[in-house]
């Protein structure tokens, strides 16, 4: 297995990090980068939720001012003691299911980094605004960027790859062409 500069550029890893990934370890820089990505994803979801709640609140206030729907607002406020526990229960269920998924992945992939081998193929899901690109290998569907898709598309599908993923988040941290051709 050899260090591939094009993979290193796309997935942002060094030769030393690739050696650590081969041993099942993750470098501090890779860990920091993944944490930053997770934080950004959480912020994106939080901002979208805040915008939706703000729009709903402004709409409710405007409707209240225009149509005098104080009775509906009073009914909503009276229902809050029921609504809040239901929302908290649903949030708890979501967090618990997420925890179970993480625990299951940790049991399946005990090392911080796992090398996936086997037949692979690319998949594109076309959307209205943008397309999503995936690499399917060893039963997993891993999201990749368009530039990674373009590079992988140039490879022969019979080329054996080793894809290193962070075991919990299952995000790609490195990739190389395997020697067993």
pLDDT in tens, 111-156: 789 899 989 999 999 988 889 999 999 889 999 999 999 999 999 9
Residue 10 inside a domain? The answer is yes
| Secondary structure class of 136 (helix, strand, coil) | strand
Residue 77 inside a domain? The answer is no
Residue 132 inside a domain? The answer is yes
pLDDT in tens, 80-108: 888 889 989 999 998 888 888 777 777 77
pLDDT at 169: 83
Residue 11 inside a domain? The answer is yes
CA 122 – CA 109 distance, rounded (Å) = 23
Residue 97 inside a domain? The answer is no
Residue 115: which region, alpha, beta or left (left: phi > 0; alpha: psi -120 to 50)?
Answer: beta
pLDDT in tens, 70-86: 777 777 788 888 888 99
How many residues in the chain?
A: 181
pLDDT at 1: 66
pLDDT in tens, 36-74: 888 888 888 889 989 998 998 888 778 777 777 777 777
φ, ψ at 101 (rounded to 5°): -65, -45
Provide the domain limits for residue 24. 1-68+112-181
The total number of structural domains that make up the chain = 1
Residue 105 inside a domain? The answer is no
Residue 80 inside a domain? The answer is no
pLDDT at 137: 94
pLDDT at 112: 84
């Amino acid at each position: 297995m050899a260090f591939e500069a094009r993979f290193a550029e796309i997935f942002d890893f060094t030769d030393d990090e690739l050696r650590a990934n081969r041993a099942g370890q993750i470098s501090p820089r890779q860990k920091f980068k993944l944490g930053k990505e997770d934080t950004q994803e959480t912020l994106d979801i939080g901002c979208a939720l805040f915008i939706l709640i703000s729009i709903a609140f402004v709409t409710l206030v405007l409707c209240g001012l225009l149509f005098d729907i104080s009775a509906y607002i009073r009914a909503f406020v009276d229902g809050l003691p029921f609504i809040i526990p239901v929302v908290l229960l649903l949030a708890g269920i979501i967090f618990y299911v997420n925890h179970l998924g993480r625990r299951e992945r940790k049991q399946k992939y005990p090392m911080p980094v796992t090398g996936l081998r086997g037949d692979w193929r690319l998949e594109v899901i076309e959307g209205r605004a943008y397309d999503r690109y995936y690499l399917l290998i060893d039963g997993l569907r891993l999201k990749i960027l368009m530039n990674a898709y373009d590079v992988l598309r140039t490879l022969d599908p019979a080329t054996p790859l080793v894809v290193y993923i962070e075991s919990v988040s299952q995000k790609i941290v490195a990739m190389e062409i395997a020697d067993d051709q």
